[in-house]
Homo-oligomer: A and B are copies of this chain.
């Protein structure tokens, strides 16, 4: 998993947008207050989410952002892919020694394993949608 917090913050941002359905679009300023960070950080994420087609933003007065699709149609994997650009598997950039039987053969084996591990993680993220997140939050609000 990526060691940054972009995914976590992006889910938070999207959760805000989901709970604000039917309300005027949320400004990056407003969202930033909920996340407790700088509005530009939020706008960067919204920009990435927008390029992925998950969110649409409007400039100008009474502008802001809203989901571009149904909450049930956006999975956490979509969000992860949108904000965490695809770096390959975490292998050393220095190639191993091809003169050693291990060095000559370990690379594709490691790539395969790391890809499989990431696929497992992805499958898990794909199982949850923004609608599920919203439901979890609502459940905690009115117990």
Is the CB–CB distance between A120 and B124 below 8 Å? yes
Is the CB–CB distance between B137 and A106 below 8 Å? yes
Is the CB–CB distance between B120 and A90 below 8 Å? no
Partner of A11, one of B16, B103, B110: B110
Partner of A95, one of B11, B15, B36, B140: B36
Instruction: State the oligomeric state as a number of copies.
Output: 2
Tell me the bound Cα distance from A102 to B137 in angstroms: 7
Chain A residues 129 to 143 lying within 8 A of chain B, measured CB to CB, are 133, 136-137, 140-141
Residues in B with CB closer than 8 Å to A117 are 1, 121, 124-125
Which residue from chain B places its CB closest to the CB of A100 in the assembled complex? B34
Tell me the bound Cα distance from A139 to B73 in angstroms: 44
Q: Which 6 A-B pairs have the closest CB atoms?
A: A34-B100, A120-B124, A120-B120, A5-B92, A105-B140, A117-B121
